[in-house]
């Protein structure tokens, strides 16, 4: 069902069962896959591919004339979100990739070059600057800012009103202005890992590598020699980070 007030430019590809509410604008290079739902006053521009069963709520703007954006299936984007609606500081536009099964709450802003994995949650008024990378299952609390060119590892949880200005390793709890690692996201690890021994190994390595200071050399050595895949992921990230 497409409301009569919707403007759709020639060239847009829209699946038969897509629902589009009143006063939306769909640009010529937009692709909406089956099951997508747009509420009222949604603006979609540029080269934009939206996978199946994505829901976009009112007053959201995605893309501009020169943008290139992909949004994965089953993602929900709440009111007043802005994704790639402007060029970066150098007046260029890099591709934005939003993974599947993500939840972007109200007033989230995502700038040029951002990439996210699957199952991420960005709560109200989160801002991701240029070239930020979020691996899978990242959760960012409201009113937080992630500065440009930084990466949040798998399972990172960022507390509300935080300012993150460097990489944050997988499975960690992050908080503050400027943000720092406060500990391991143990609850998240318990939900993710069935083997308790894996969790205990990560805890032990966490204390060694990020105890009193960041020991990148030790992290690099552990990443090369340790057999546990989660420990390797954690230490390899630290070794190659900008921490």
The domain that contains 41 carries what CATH number?
A: 2.160.10.10
* 203 occurs within a structural domain: yes
Containing domain of residue 225, as a range? 188-239
Query: Are residues 25 and 119 part of one domain?
Result: yes
- Express each pLDDT in 177-223 by its tens digit: 999 999 999 999 999 898 999 999 999 999 999 988 999 999 999 99
Is the confidence at residue 107, as pLDDT, over 70? yes
Is the confidence at residue 88, as pLDDT, over 80? no
Is the confidence at residue 7, as pLDDT, over 70? yes
C-alpha–C-alpha distance, residues 181 and 183, integer Å: 6
pTM as predicted: 0.95
* 93 occurs within a structural domain: yes
* 174 occurs within a structural domain: no
Q: Can you list the positions of beta strands (E) in 57-194?
A: 61-62, 68-71, 76-77, 82-83, 96-98, 103-104, 109-110, 115-116, 121-122, 127-128, 133-134, 139-140, 145-146, 151-152, 157-158, 163-164, 172-176, 179-184
Residue 174: pLDDT band by 50, 70, 90 thresholds? very high
pLDDT for residue 71: 98
CA distances for 202 relative to 105, 140, 166, 184, 240, angstroms: 31, 22, 21, 9, 18
pLDDT for residue 93: 85
CA distances for 85 relative to 101, 113, 140, angstroms: 22, 12, 21
Structural domain total, the chain? 2
Q: What number of H helices and E strands is found in the chain?
A: 4, 27
Rounded mean pLDDT of the chain? 96
pLDDT for residue 92: 76
pLDDT for residue 85: 86
In this structure, the strands spanning 25-26 and 109-110 are unpaired
CB 155: neighbour CB atoms within 10 A? Answer: 26
Q: Which among 109, 131, 153 is the end of a domain?
A: 131
* 24 occurs within a structural domain: yes
Is the confidence at residue 5, as pLDDT, over 80? yes
Query: Are residues 103 and 24 part of one domain?
Result: yes
Residue 40: pLDDT band by 50, 70, 90 thresholds? very high
Buried b (16+ CB within 10 A) or exposed e, 164-176: beebbbbbbbbbe
Query: Are residues 89 and 18 part of one domain?
Result: yes
């Amino acid at each position: 069902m497409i409301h009569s007030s919707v403007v759709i430019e020639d060239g847009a590809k829209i699946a038969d069962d897509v629902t589009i509410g009143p006063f939306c604008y769909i640009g010529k290079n937009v692709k909406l896959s089956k099951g997508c739902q747009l509420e009222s006053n949604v603006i979609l521009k540029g080269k934009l591919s939206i996978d199946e069963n994505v829901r976009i709520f009112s007053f959201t703007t995605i893309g501009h004339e020169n943008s290139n954006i992909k949004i994965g299936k089953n993602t929900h984007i709440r009111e007043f979100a802005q994704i790639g609606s402007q060029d970066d500081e150098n007046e260029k536009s890099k591709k934005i990739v939003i993974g599947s099964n993500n939840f972007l709450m109200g007033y989230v802003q995502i700038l040029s070059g951002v990439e996210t994995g699957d199952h991420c949650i960005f709560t109200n008024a989160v801002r991701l600057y240029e070239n930020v990378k979020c691996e899978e299952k990242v959760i960012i609390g409201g009113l937080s800012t992630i500065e440009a060119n930084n990466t949040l590892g798998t399972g990172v949880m960022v507390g509300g009103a935080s300012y993150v200005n460097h990489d944050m390793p997988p499975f960690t709890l992050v908080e503050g202005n400027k943000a720092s690692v406060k500990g391991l996201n143990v609850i998240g690890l318990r939900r993710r890992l069935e083997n308790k021994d894996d969790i205990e190994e990560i805890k032990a390595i966490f204390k060694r590598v990020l105890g009193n200071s960041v020991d990148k050399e030790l992290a690099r050595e552990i990443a090369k020699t340790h057999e546990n895949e989660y420990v390797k992921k954690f230490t390899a990230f630290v070794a190659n980070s900008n921490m």
